[in-house]
Amino acid sequence: MLCTMTSRRLIQCFSTRRCSVSALALAAAVLSGFLHAAWNAAVKASGDAKAAMTAQVVAAALIAGLLLPVVGPPAPASWPWLAASSALSIATLVTTRRAYQAGAFSVAYPVSRAMAPALVMVVGPLFGFGWPGPMGVVGLVLIGLGVLAFMKPPPSGPVSAAIPWALVTGVLTAGFVLVDSTGVRLAGSTLSYGLSVSMLNGLGFIALERGDTWGAVRRHWRLAVFGPLASLGSYLLILWVWATAPPALGAALRDTSLVFAALIGWRLLGERPTRLTWTALALATAGVVVLRFA
């Protein structure tokens, strides 16, 4: 009987392709998370987060500007959402680099990434995405405990100065997740929507910096060459997930990137997370995983 039930489920899975889509969305979101953690770590490792972030964003905009005429613009219905997304993205990038200037990558990145899916689940109903169920509440509690643990001062000194910036980044990230989840569904094309946002981000950074933007690109040319491949790839992958899955689910899957960030900070950036940091990371990760099934 069990074999018969299993066979029926497999037949239903392959006939409706629901399992394949789910597995593909999972793989796309996790890959997006890894790419996101990687390029953020490169910005942190540069030693000059402000210039490195500028170089990466402007270079990504150049690539997007070259590709956009080929793929065409997104549908006009998505333009207000696209503009809002770019404004939130620029603000997020600015607060992100401030967090990296203020503290450890293995603290700043996980706090901001854990905040986002939790806030998306809480605020999502206002955008018509439904209320969190019992598992969602459990996930929110675990993430909250993890963030509080990150905020606890270590025995040897005060709480990381990166925490306030990371919290603001998390709020802004949740904002553009909800905006993008709506905008990309109206755009008619994930690719054209993502490229348009990336191009606007670069133009916004050029206007915001009012300094030696191209000098930053020259000084950080390696990041300007390779960073956009990771950032654009990460963004386009998660946009596709948000276009096909609830935003809280997509955000939770992608933000398993906080695990990659902790490992990168530890193994490649020479950071030494404390036991409390690992505990906080475990709580936040568990919360994100629980949200996956909420």
How does pLDDT run across 195-222, given as a tens digit for each residue?
A: 999 999 999 988 887 767 777 777 777 8
Which residue carries 């990336």 as its tokens? 198
Q: CA-CA distance, 32 to 278, in Å (whole number)?
A: 23
Q: What is the pLDDT of residue 130?
A: 65
Sheet strands (E) in the chain = none
pTM over 0.85: no
Q: CA-CA distance, 224 to 56, in Å (whole number)?
A: 5
Backbone angles phi, psi at 156, to 5 degrees: -90, 0
Angle between helices 275-292 and 134-151 (to 10 degrees): 160
Give the chain's largest Cα–Cα span. Answer: 71
Asked if 62 and 213 count as a contact pair (C-beta separation under 8 A), the reply is no
Asked if 238 and 32 count as a contact pair (C-beta separation under 8 A), the reply is yes
Cα separation values, 6 from 10, 82, 130, 215, Å: 6, 44, 30, 61
Q: What is the pLDDT of residue 268?
A: 76
Tokens representing residue 42 in the block:
């490169």
Q: What is the pLDDT of residue 162?
A: 82
Q: What is the pLDDT of residue 152?
A: 65
Ramachandran area for residue 61 (φ above 0: left; ψ -120 to 50: alpha; else beta)? alpha
Residue 14 is inside which H or E element, if any?
helix 2-16
Which residue carries 């990460």 as its tokens? 234
All residue ranges of the chain with pLDDT < 50 are 1-21, 157-158
Asked if 131 and 125 count as a contact pair (C-beta separation under 8 A), the reply is yes
